[in-house]
Chains A and B, each alone.
Chain A
Amino acid sequence: MTILEFLQVTFLSIFMLCLLGYGSIRFFEIILKKKLVHFVNQFFGLSSDFVVKINFFLYMGISFLLMYTQILLMFKIFIVPTLYGLSILLGIILLFDIFKNKDKPLLNRFALYNSLPIMAMIISLSLITLLRSTIISGAFGSTGYDAAVHSVIISRIIRFNMFSPEFRYLPGGEVIAAFLTVILNIPIYKTVTLLTGSFSVLVFLSFYCLGVSHTQKPIYGYLCAFLATLFWFSSYHPIYWGGLPFMTGIYVTVSAMAFSINLATPPVNEQSFHRILFTALLLIPVLTIYPAPLLYILFWLPLLVTKNLISHPKRHRCFKTGVFLIFSLAIAASLSASLLWPIIYTDALPILLGKLSPPSRAMSRGWWDDYLISPIFFLRITEFYNDLNKAHDVLGVASFRLIPYGVLACIVIALLKLAQKYKFKDSIRSINPFLVPFSQIGETGLFYYAFYVVIYLYMKHVWIFRSIFPPERTYQCLGIIFTMLEFSSIVVIWTFLSNVFHLKIRIILHI
C-alpha cells in the first residue's frame, strides 16, 4: 500500500459519503416539498462553517447508507448493483444544485472568508494521513487475525448480500466499508487497512466539529482537534489490527456528540416530526457501529439528559424531551433492526465490548501500553510512574498509567483559570474545547481500563463470580458490573475537578 492510495481513499471516502448524505437530504426535500436543510442548520446548531457542514453531510451519509442497507436486507434485494445507481442519482442532484439551483443550499456559505479554514482542514487531513500511512506504506499493514475476520464479513456483505449473526459483531463499520469497496473499486484485502487509516484521519474532523459546535470559532475547533489527535491517538499511533469498526465508531461517537448539542433542549412543537426523524438519523450510526453505543448511549446521552433536567426549571418540558428521545431511539432501532440482529441473536455485551482470544490478549497488552502512553508528550511523566509500577501489581500499573492524563488535564485547566483571572473574556468558552478531548480520553481510557481489568485480569481469579454466575455468563456479568463502576468513576473524576477548580459542573461537562 502506498501513501498516495491512503490520500486517495481518505478524500474519496469523504466525498462519496458527503454526496450520499447531501443527496439523500435533498432527495427527501424534493419528495416532501419541504426545506429540510434549513431546519437541519437550526436543529443541529450548525454554524456557517463549511467544514462542519461537510462533516454533517458525511455523518448523514453514513446514516442513510445504514438505513438503505437495512431496507435492502429486509427485502432481500442484492445491494451491490443498486449502489452504482444510487451514486449516479445523487451525483445528478448535486450537479443540479451546483449549476441550476438558485438557492444553492450547500454552497451558499462557500464564500472567500470561509476558504481559509477549508484549506487548513485539507492540509491538516493530508498531513495526518501522511503521518499515519508512513507506518505501513510499502506493506499490507496488520493483516492477520482480526483484519482477516473483518475482510470476510465485508466479502459476505458484497458477495452474498448477507450478514451472519455468528460473527457476533455490530456490522455498521463493515457496511460502510462494503459500500466504499464497491464504489471506489478497492480490493477487499486492502479495504480494512486503508479505511482504518482513513477513519482515524476523520476523527480529526469530528473533533474539529465538536470544538466549533461549542464555541462557534474555527480556531478552537483546530485546537480541540489537534489536542485530541496528538494526545489521544498521537500522530504515530499505529493503524492496528482490526481497527476499522473501532475508528469508525470513535468518529461516529465524537461527531454525534458535536451534533447533539441541541438534542436535549425542549422541543418546538411545529417541528416535532422533523426533530424525531433527524434525531433518529443521528442515532442510527451510534446504534450500529461498535463501540459507539457504549460511549454515546451509556455515557454521553445520560449526561445530556441529566444536564437538561438540572438546567431547565420547567420539568414537564424535560419530560417531553425525554419522550422525544425515546421515540427517536425506537425509530432508529427499528430502522436498523437487521444490523442490530447480532445483539438480539447473542448477548449484547460481548458485541459491545468486543471479544479477544488468548493469542490476541498479549497483542492488546502491547497495544494498551502504546495507546495509553502517548509517545510524545507523556514519555517523561510516565517514565517516573513506570518505576513506581514495578512495586505494584498489574492493577496498580493500569491505574498509575492514567495519572499522566490527570496531571496534564490539571495543568491545562490551571492555565486557563489563570487566563480567566486576567479577565480574558473568552476564558470560559476556551475551556470547553480543551476539556472535550480530555473527557474523551477519560471516558475511553477508563472504558479500556475496565475492559482490561475485567477480561484479562479478573476473569480467572474472581472465583466468587464464577460460582454465582454460570461459566458462559461470567464474562457478561463482570462486564456489566465494571461498566457501572467505570461510569461512577467518571462522575467522581468530574465532580473532583469541578470542586478543585471551582467550576460549575455544566462547564466541566462542556454541554
Chain B
Amino acid sequence: MEASSKRGNRMRAYFAIILFSLIFLASVNVNEPFNMTSKTRLWLNEFDVLADDDINLQLWMKQNLDDSSVILVSWGDAGQYIPVIAEKEAIFEFAGDLDSCPLTREHSQKYRDLLKLLEISPDNPIALELLRYFNITHVYVGAKESTRLNSPSTSKVNFPEYTVLNASLLNSARHYKLTYRMGSAWLFEVVYNATVMTAISTCDATVDWFIKKVMF
C-alpha cells in the first residue's frame, strides 16, 4: 500500500515536471537560441582585437627589438598584448583608473592628447613633443585597428573620444619609419632628427595651452 502510494506520488511529481517543461517549451521560439548565438558571435567579434598577424608581429618584436624600446599603442588595440607576447614596454591606457587615480590622471590626459594628434597629423610638433615626453621609440598599429572605425560598439558616434591610428597616414609621414609589417599589423619607428628637436623647443611653452584651447 505504502509502496504504491510512493509510486503514485513519484508519478505526480514526474507529471508536474513534464507539464512545467511543456509550458516553457511552448513559449520558446526554436530559432531563438540560434539567432542569439549568431548575434552574440557578432557582438563578441567587435571586441576581438587580436589577430594572427598581431601575434606573429609581436613574436618578431620579441626577438628583434631592443629591450629598451617603448611602444605606443592606441586604446583598445591588439598592441595591449605587447607586454605579454613581445615582453617589451608598451604605453596604453587600461580601462578604469583615469577617474579615480589622481597620479595617472595627468599622464592619461597627455596620452589621449597624443593619440588625437597622431590620428589627424602625425608630424605635428606637439605630437612629437608628447612622444618624447613618454620616451616612445615605436608606434604599433594592430591588424584590426582600421576595421574598428566601422564597429558600432567602438565607433566615433558613440565615443567621440575614441581614436584610431591610421597606418597609411603614419607610413606617409616624415617622422615615422616602417620597421616591420606582418599582414595588416604595422610597427613604425619614431625618427627624432635635429630639425624636429628645434621645432619642439620653440613650441614647448605653448603646448598645454594649444592642446586645451585650440585642438580640443
CB distance from B89 to the nearest CB of A (A): 12
Closest-by-CB residue of A relative to B78 is A143
Cross-chain contact B44 with A238 (CB below 8 angstroms): yes
CB-CB under 8 A for A159 and B87, given A149-B94, A376-B28: yes
Among B27, B80, B159, the one with the most A-chain Cβ atoms within 10 Å of its Cβ is B80
Q: Is B20 an interface residue (CB 8 A)?
A: yes
**Interface bits A279-301 vs B (CB < 8 Å: 1, else 0):** 00000000000000000000000
Bound: A191/B33 CA distance, A: 27
Surface stretch bound by B, among A51-59, A69-77, A423-431, A440-448? A423-431
Q: How far does the alpha carbon of A136 sit from the alpha carbon of B9 in the complex, in Å? A: 45
Q: Does A168 contact B (CB under 8 A)?
A: yes
Cβ of B154 and Cβ of A375 under 8 Å apart?
Answer: no
Contact bitstring A36-70, B, C-beta under 8 A = 1, else 0: 00000000000000000000000000000000000
B85–A189 CB distance below 8 A: yes
Q: Is the CB of B32 within 8 A of A379?
A: yes
Per the 8 Å Cβ criterion, residues 413-427 of A in contact with B are 415, 418-419, 422-426
B67 nearest CB across to chain A (Å) = 13
Query: Which residues from 89 to 135 on chain B have a C-beta closer than 8 Å to any C-beta of chain A?
Result: 94-102
Q: Which residues of B contact A419 (CB under 8 A)?
A: 12-13, 16
Tell me whether A146 and B43 are in contact (CB under 8 A): no
On whether the beta carbons of B100 and A236 are closer than 8 Å, the reply is no
Tell me if B216 is interfacial: C-beta within 8 Å of chain A: no
15 pairs of residues in contact across A and B, judged by CB atoms under 8 Å: A135-B40, A140-B48, A143-B78, A144-B49, A155-B84, A159-B87, A189-B50, A235-B33, A239-B44, A357-B95, A379-B29, A415-B16, A422-B12, A425-B6, A472-B102
| Residues of the A chain whose Cβ atoms lie less than 8 Å from the Cβ of B44 | 135-136, 139, 141-142, 238-240
Q: Which of A239, A412, A424 contacts B13 (CB 8 A)?
A: A424
Other A-B pairs beyond A145-B47, A377-B24, A472-B100, 14, CB < 8 Å: A140-B48, A149-B94, A151-B84, A152-B80, A152-B84, A235-B33, A236-B40, A237-B40, A357-B99, A375-B32, A379-B27, A379-B28, A411-B23, A419-B16
A11 to chain B, nearest CB (A): 23
Q: Do residues B9 and A422 form an inter-chain contact, with CB atoms below 8 A?
A: yes
Is A360 on the interface with B (CB-CB < 8 A)? yes
- Asked if A81 is an interface residue, CB under 8 A from chain B, the answer is no
**Interface bits B133-173 vs A (CB < 8 Å: 1, else 0):** 00000000000000000000110001101100000000000
Interface size class of B (residues with CB under 8 A): 35 or more
A199 to chain B, nearest CB (A): 17
Complex alpha-carbon distance, A135 and B33, angstroms: 12
Cross-chain contact B153 with A363 (CB below 8 angstroms): yes
Chain B residues in contact with chain A, CB under 8 A?
Answer: 6, 9, 12-13, 16, 20, 23-24, 27-29, 32-33, 36-37, 40-41, 43-45, 47-51, 55, 75-76, 78, 80-81, 83-85, 87, 94-102, 153-154, 158-159, 161-162
Q: Report whether A134 and B37 are in contact in the complex, using a CB–CB cutoff of 8 Å.
A: yes
A222 surroundings in chain B (CB, below 8 A): none
How far is it, in angstroms, between the C-alpha of A446 and the C-alpha of B23 when the chains are bound?
A: 27
Query: How long is the Cα–Cα vector from A503 to B86 in the complex, in angstroms?
Result: 60
Chain A 117-149 near chain B by CB (<8 Å), digits 1 or 0: 000000000000000001110011111111011
A residues 394-413 near B (Cβ < 8 Å) are 411-412
Give the nearest-CB partner of A239 in chain B.
B44
Rounded to whole angstroms, the CA-CA distance of A415 and B83 in the bound complex is 55
Task: Tell whether A34 is near chain B: CB-to-CB under 8 Å.
Answer: no
Q: Which residues of A contact B29 (CB under 8 A)?
A: 379
Question: What separation, in Å, do the CA atoms of A69 and B132 have in the docked complex?
Answer: 39
Given A370-B40, A379-B28, A472-B102, A236 and B48 touching (CB < 8 A)? no
Are A366 and B49 in contact (CB-based, < 8 A)?
A: no
Q: Which chain B residues lie closer than 8 Å to A236 at the CB level?
A: 33, 36-37, 40
Closest A residue to B85 by beta carbon equals: A189
A151-200 contacts to B (CB < 8 Å): 151-152, 154-155, 159, 166, 168, 187-189
Of chain A, the residue at the smallest CB distance from B162 is A359
Known: A151-B81, A152-B83, A376-B28. A359 touches B76 (CB 8 A): yes
Contacts of A380 in B (CB 8 A): 27
Contacts of A159 in B (CB 8 A): 87
- Chain B residue numbers with a CB within 8 Å of A472 are 100, 102
A377 to B21, CA, bound (A): 11
B156 CB to nearest chain A CB (Å): 11
Query: Binary interface profile of A, 356-372, with partner B (CB < 8 Å = 1, else 0)?
Result: 11111011001000100
- A316 near B: Cβ within 8 Å? no
The reply to whether the CB of A241 lies closer than 8 angstroms to some CB of chain B is yes
Q: Is the beta-carbon distance between B83 and A144 smaller than 8 angstroms? A: no
State which of A139, A148, A363, A415 has its C-beta within 8 Å of the C-beta of B20.
Answer: A415
Contacts of A411 in B (CB 8 A): 20, 23
Report the minimal beta-carbon distance from B54 to chain A, rounded to whole angstroms.
9
A235 vs B28: C-alpha distance when bound (angstroms): 14
B159 touches A144 (CB 8 A): no
Judge whether A208 is part of the interface by a CB distance below 8 angstroms.
no
The answer to whether residues A189 and B32 also contact, given A144-B49, A238-B44, A359-B95 and a CB cut-off of 8 A, is no
Residues of A close to B162: CB separation below 8 A: 359
- Enumerate chain B residues within 8 angstroms of A155, measured Cβ to Cβ: 83-84
Q: Which residue of B lies closest to A145 (CB)?
A: B95
A357 touches B98 (CB 8 A): yes
What's the Cα separation between A423 and B2 when bound, in Å? 12
Distance of A240 Cα from B162 Cα, bound (Å): 21
Q: Any chain B CB within 8 A of the CB of A475?
A: yes
Within 8 A of B (CB), among A325-367: 350, 355-360, 362-363, 366
Given contacts A151-B84, A240-B44, contact A350 B33 (CB under 8 A): no
Compute how far the CA of A415 lies from the CA of B36 in the bound complex, rounded to whole angstroms.
Answer: 30
Beyond A358-B159, A422-B9, A424-B9, is A143–B36 a contact (Cβ under 8 Å)?
A: no
